[in-house]
């Protein structure tokens, strides 16, 4: 393993961990800066993209939150957390159909995820797709 890669990974992880601590304290602006620094150091750092997406969601910056979740999914297409962040950002933008598509993909890739099924149930229920909602809820509590 290249020592520079190890050094970069550690530096990126330190920034992401600091971002997590700041986000927990409600210091979203500084947390976002930390996540962005982590990504600048290690652009393929999926967890930093996911955490950035969550912080941006909390801030109400929905388009950037969706973009960050999409970047995480481009790196790791099976990332459940990125799929759910993307769905949340899309739903909050009033794009419930797109959000449902994201959650459908999440439950297809992660049929064991109760939270993905329950989130899908909530969303499709709001869309009036009651049979699909009932099925999602049943799988979420199974």
35-78 pLDDT tens trace: 999 999 999 999 999 999 999 999 999 999 999 999 999 999 99
Digit-coded pLDDT (tens) for 92-110:
999 999 999 999 999 999 9
Q: Are the folds of 1-77 and 95-142 the same?
A: yes
pTM, two decimal places? 0.91
H-helix segments, the chain:
3-24, 28-41, 46-59, 62-75, 80-92, 96-109, 114-126, 130-141
Alpha carbon of 5 to those of 10, 50, 114: distances in Å?
A: 9, 21, 36
Look at residue 3 in the predicted model and tell me its pLDDT: 58
Digit-coded pLDDT (tens) for 24-40:
999 999 999 999 999 99
Look at residue 4 in the predicted model and tell me its pLDDT: 55
Task: Give dist(CA 27, CA 81) in Å, integer.
Answer: 21
96, 123 in Cβ contact below 8 A? yes
Extents of the domains making up the chain: 1-77, 95-142
Question: Quick one: average pLDDT of 127-140?
Answer: 95
Report, at the CATH architecture level, how domain 95-142 is classified: Alpha Horseshoe (1.25)
118, 140 in Cβ contact below 8 A? yes
Determine the CATH number of domain 1-77.
Answer: 1.25.40.10
137, 120 in Cβ contact below 8 A? no
Task: Give dist(CA 5, CA 34) in Å, integer.
Answer: 19
Three-state DSSP at 6 gives helix
């Amino acid at each position: 393993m290249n020592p520079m890669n190890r050094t970069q990974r550690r530096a990126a992880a330190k920034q992401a961990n600091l971002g997590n601590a700041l986000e927990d304290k409600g210091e979203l602006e500084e947390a976002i800066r930390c996540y962005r620094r982590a990504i600048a150091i290690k652009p393929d750092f999926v967890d930093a993209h996911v955490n950035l997406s969550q912080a941006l969601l909390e801030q109400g910056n929905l388009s950037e939150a969706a973009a960050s979740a999409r970047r995480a999914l481009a790196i790791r297409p099976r990332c459940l957390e990125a799929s759910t962040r993307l769905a949340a950002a899309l739903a909050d933008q009033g794009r419930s159909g797109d959000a449902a598509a994201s959650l459908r993909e999440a439950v297809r890739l992660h049929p064991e995820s109760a939270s993905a099924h329950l989130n899908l149930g909530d969303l499709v229920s709001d869309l009036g797709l009651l049979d699909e909602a009932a099925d999602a809820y049943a799988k979420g509590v199974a």
